[in-house]
Amino acid sequence: MREMIKMVVVLTVLSAFSGGLLAYIRDNTKEQIENQQLEFVKGPAIKEILKGAANNPIADRFKLKDGEIERSFFVGVFEGEPSAVATESYGKGYGGDVGLMVAISIKEDKIIGVGVTTHSETPGMGARAKDDPAFATAFKGLSAAEAVKVTSDGGKIAALSGATITSRAVCAAATDIVEIYKRLKPQIEENLKAFKK
Amino acid sequence: MAKTLVQEFTKGLWEEIPPFRLVLGLCPTLAVTKSVENGIGMGVAVIFVLVCSNVLISMMRNIIPPKVRIACFIVVIATFVCVVELVMQAYTYPLFLKLGIFIPLIVVNCILLGRAEAFAFKKGVLASIADGFGIGIGYTIALAMLAAFRELFGSGNLTIWGDMKVMEVFGSSFQPFQFMVEAPGAFVCLGLMLCVMNIAGKK
């Protein structure tokens, strides 16, 4: 009986100690990990779509509450004005979620660039959404007031041949971001003022 | 029978060098040795976990009831592996991406459980530290050697640290053996190295 109690006590104390230690370390590294992920996973896409910005869009970011979800917005400063924001959303692709970063110009309500961040599509087929620059270029200049669709759905984006599902996923993600933008525009403008120099 | 601390340390470097002599911890050995940088990164992670878990287990060897010792070892090892994973994620993210799943897999690496069971649970704290460093550094050297061999013939280059210092050993006319950096090449290299180690170790 005594041995039984000892076993339980030792394991409990050990586990509790481990849990505490891990929670402490997690709390202390959380922010740094987020920064690293931004820089190495989403960073290249953000820098690409906000090309020419005078600031560092990864450092200049703010968060907004959208219903239950908290979204990160990245700010692009052009000609001295913080006039563009980029944010990320997901669409259902062929092999899983396709992450898309979309930059929108506040002044013109237009999409100024898109970039696929994460995906698990087939290499050579759906993966061209990320690798083929021509596909992303087609999104430039689209109005941020209406839904983004592929041509076969009555939209303006020519789907990648052999990768209709991926193309639709990218469009769905873009549409989602356009919706978010419309919904949150007043708050976005409010937040952007802080980045004016 | 009692070995000195120096002996406990040096045995890990030659007599009991993990992948070659104990033939333990082969899964990451085969998988991460595509470049020297990855090999060393993995080795450093193992050294940290091994030394910390050895120390903790050795300190608690009189408290842990023998019946639940394996469970206790796993809790201790898993904790330190999580610590390494978080720290790597926070400060060396590109390396973390390359090593990926093999960092969490250190938990089930037989070297760690083996050293805990066979050594730290029976010996004192100082001896366990020496043993942890010895085996860990031995493991790192083994990984680095294997990785250097594969990288040298597989790509013709040697990456010392990051992308900054890539040495072109054979010059541009060298046609790399693509095979060496692929998975089967790892088996062949490891086999050859085991063979060399056995011949060299024969008395």
Interface of A with B in 77-136 (CB under 8 A): none
Tokens representing A64? 């907004």
A13 reaches B (C-beta below 8 A): no
pLDDT in tens, A28-39: 998 888 888 877
pLDDT score recorded for residue B93: 84
Would you call A11 and B78 a contact, using CB atoms and an 8 Å cutoff? Answer: no
Which chain B residues are Cβ-neighbours of A36 within 8 angstroms? 89-91, 93
The three-point CA angle B116-B122-B126 to 5° equals 85
Evaluate whether residue B78 is within a structural domain.
Answer: yes
Would you call A26 and B65 a contact, using CB atoms and an 8 Å cutoff? Answer: no
Tokens representing B92? 């060396």
Per-residue pLDDT of chain B (203 residues; tens, 9 = 90+): 457 888 888 887 877 778 887 788 888 888 888 888 888 889 999 999 999 999 999 999 888 888 889 999 999 999 999 999 999 888 888 888 888 788 888 888 888 888 888 888 988 899 999 999 999 999 999 998 888 888 888 877 776 655 555 666 666 666 777 787 788 888 888 888 888 888 887 75
pLDDT in tens, A129-139: 877 777 878 78
Give residues with Cβ within 8 angstroms of B40, minimum separation 6.
B140, B143, B144, B147
Which chain A residues are Cβ-neighbours of B86 within 8 angstroms? 22, 25-26, 29, 33
Evaluate whether residue A148 is within a structural domain.
Answer: yes
Evaluate whether residue B187 is within a structural domain.
Answer: no
Evaluate whether residue B189 is within a structural domain.
Answer: no
Q: Centre a 10 Å sphere on the Cβ of residue B174 and count the other Cβ atoms it contains.
A: 14
Yes or no: say if B144 and B43 are a contact pair by the CB < 8 Å rule. Answer: yes
Nearest to A11 among B68, B79, B90 (CB): B68
Evaluate whether residue A52 is within a structural domain.
Answer: yes
B153-172: b or e for each residue (b if 16 or more CB lie within 10 Å)?
bbbbbbbeeeeeeeeeeeee
B1 reaches A (C-beta below 8 A): no
A145 reaches B (C-beta below 8 A): no
Evaluate whether residue A77 is within a structural domain.
Answer: yes
Distance (Å, rounded) from C-alpha A97 to C-alpha A116? 11
pLDDT in tens, A154-183: 777 778 878 888 888 888 888 888 888 888
Evaluate whether residue B35 is within a structural domain.
Answer: yes
Yes or no: say if B35 and B151 are a contact pair by the CB < 8 Å rule. Answer: yes
Question: Taking phi first (over 0 means left), then psi (-120 to 50 degrees means alpha), and beta for anything else, what does residue A109 get?
Answer: left
Containing structural domain, residue B107: 5-146
Evaluate whether residue A39 is within a structural domain.
Answer: no
pLDDT score recorded for residue A134: 79
Query: In terms of DSSP H, where are the helices of A54-163?
Result: 128-131, 133-137
CA-wise closest residue to B167 among B183, B180, B148: B148
pLDDT score recorded for residue B170: 66
pLDDT score recorded for residue A197: 62
pLDDT in tens, A38-76: 777 777 777 777 777 777 777 777 888 777 788 888 888
Q: How many structural domains compose chain B?
A: 1
ipTM over 0.95: no
pLDDT in tens, A12-23: 999 999 999 999
CA-wise closest residue to A115 among A51, A197, A32: A51
Evaluate whether residue B124 is within a structural domain.
Answer: yes
Evaluate whether residue A73 is within a structural domain.
Answer: yes
CA-wise closest residue to B89 among A47, A43, A35, A22: A35
B108 reaches A (C-beta below 8 A): no
Would you call B71 and A11 a contact, using CB atoms and an 8 Å cutoff? Answer: yes
A12 reaches B (C-beta below 8 A): no
Q: How many structural domains compose chain A?
A: 1
Place of tokens 């088996």: B187
B63 reaches A (C-beta below 8 A): yes
Q: DSSP letter at A163?
A: -
Which chain B residues are Cβ-neighbours of A15 within 8 angstroms? 75
CA-wise closest residue to B127 among B187, B58, B183, B67: B58
Evaluate whether residue A19 is within a structural domain.
Answer: no
A158 reaches B (C-beta below 8 A): no
Containing structural domain, residue A55: 46-195
Evaluate whether residue A22 is within a structural domain.
Answer: no
